[in-house]
């Protein structure tokens, strides 16, 4: 048992807060928990090594022998590996050790990726679908598998996998009509998906909440950058400033350090670009320095308010 906890238990017994029998039961419980944690750490390390070796062997096999294997064999190999990884995660799911739970998250994340692999083999080798349909099938399978895993375990990796699949589905649907779309459409699509993801996290429908908010906000800001490569550059950069400023404001009104980090980074990336677009090279550099200085002041205020809110909550 941890030495500090042992000192606390001894002090509780001396103060007659708990009995000697209760203290003994606490010590026995902590010894069992420490043993489980130690075994869990060994299992986690062994599992990671096994996963690395398995992935390495698959990549080696694909590089050297994949073209010589029949389509049925490719489907069987990818399917069996995916089922094995998902099954290993399911078998360890009930373990109370935190290290084993981390291993489960990694195994199921690899299983979701394996689902996309199976879908790719099916779409490309077996069905011969065109690029956009193949991308839609793969992204849909990843989104479905990631969402299912996330419903079973609300962990960061499964949520990221579900978000990646969702983004893939949205972009594939946008690309399906085979139209020559402006970058603004792609950027606005990413902005919409990211904004919806962040709102779902803020409302508690996606957990962990901080992961959903951070991933969604980052995707939304990335969308404004993607859209800024087209003719609507100024409008998309302005929208990026609005999104980043809203994130900073949200962080200052509640304990949202993660939102402050994303919003501040967004302001530092987007605002200088917008300044140069509006004022040109002549006064762009001095104006950028001024804006960056003001942003640093805003960041300092935001950090102060966030820390104060966190302290008040504690």
**Ramachandran sector of residue 214 (left: φ over 0; alpha: ψ -120 to 50; beta: rest):** alpha
Q: How confident is the model at residue 310 (pLDDT cuts 50, 70, 90)?
A: very low
Which of 61-65, 264-268, 310-314 has the highest mean predicted lDDT (pLDDT)?
A: 264-268
Tokens for 299, please give them: 């960041």
From the list 94, 106, 101, the residue with the least C-alpha distance to 50 is: 106
Question: How far apart are alpha carbons 106 and 103 in whole angstroms?
Answer: 5
Q: Helices in 153-182 by DSSP H: which ranges?
A: 156-175
**Residue 199, token pair as written in the block:** 């709102």
Angstrom distance (rounded) from CA 140 to CA 118: 12
With a cut of 70, say whether residue 305 has pLDDT above it. Answer: no
Start-to-end CA span in the chain (Å): 27
What percent of the chain is predicted at pLDDT more than 70? 86
Both tokens of residue 213?
A: 């908010």
Answer for the pair 138, 165: CB distance below 8 angstroms, yes or no: no
* CA gap 24, 41 in Å, rounded: 26
According to the model, what pLDDT value does residue 114 have? 94
Q: When comparing pLDDT for 204 and 309, which is higher? A: 204
Residue 123 burial (C-beta neighbours within 10 Å; 0-12, 13-18, 19+): buried
Residue 2, pLDDT above cutoff 80: no
The pLDDT tens digits of the residues spanning 133-162 come to 999 999 999 999 999 999 998 999 999 999
Residue-level pLDDT at 248: 86
Q: How far apart are CA 238 and CA 220, in angstroms?
A: 13
Mean residue pLDDT across the chain? 84
Bond before 266 cis per omega within 30 degrees: no
User: In this structure, how many other beta carbons lie within 10 angstroms of the beta carbon of residue 278?
Assistant: 13
Q: Tell me the mean pLDDT in the region 240-255.
A: 87
* Choice among 29-43, 165-179, 217-231, 273-287 with the minimum mean pLDDT: 29-43
- pLDDT higher than 60, residue 308: no
Yes or no: say if 120 and 141 are a contact pair by the CB < 8 Å rule.
no
Please, what is the angle between helix 209-227 and helix 233-253, to 10°? 160
């Amino acid at each position: 048992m941890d030495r500090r906890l042992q000192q606390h238990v001894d002090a509780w017994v001396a103060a007659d807060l708990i009995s000697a029998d209760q203290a003994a039961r606490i010590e026995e419980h902590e010894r069992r928990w420490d043993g489980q944690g130690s075994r869990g750490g060994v299992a986690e390390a062994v599992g990671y090594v096994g996963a690395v070796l398995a992935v390495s062997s698959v990549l080696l096999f694909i590089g050297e022998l994949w073209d010589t294997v029949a389509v049925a064999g490719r489907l069987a190999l990818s399917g069996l590996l995916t089922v094995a990884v998902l099954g290993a995660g399911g078998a360890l799911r009930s373990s109370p050790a935190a290290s084993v739970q981390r291993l489960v998250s990694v195994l199921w994340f690899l299983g979701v990726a394996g689902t996309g692999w199976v879908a790719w083999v099916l779409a490309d080798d077996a069905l011969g679908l065109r690029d956009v349909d193949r991308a839609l099938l793969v992204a849909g399978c990843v989104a479905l598998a990631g969402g299912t895993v996330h419903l079973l375990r609300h962990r960061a990796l499964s949520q990221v996998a579900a978000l990646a699949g969702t983004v893939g589905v949205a972009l594939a649907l946008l690309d399906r009509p085979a139209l020559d779309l402006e970058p603004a459409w792609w950027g606005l699509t990413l902005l919409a998906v990211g904004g919806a993801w962040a709102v779902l996290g803020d409302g508690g429908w996606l957990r962990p909440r901080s992961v959903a908010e951070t991933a969604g906000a980052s995707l939304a800001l990335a969308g404004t950058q993607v859209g800024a490569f087209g003719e609507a550059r100024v409008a998309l950069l302005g929208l990026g400033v609005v999104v980043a400023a809203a994130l900073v404001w949200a962080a200052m009104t509640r304990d949202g350090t993660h939102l402050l980090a994303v919003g501040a980074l967004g302001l530092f990336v987007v605002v200088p670009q917008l300044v140069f677009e509006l004022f040109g090279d002549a006064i762009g550099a001095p104006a950028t320095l001024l804006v960056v200085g003001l942003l640093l002041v805003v960041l300092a205020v935001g950090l102060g308010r966030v820390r104060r809110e966190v302290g008040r909550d504690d």
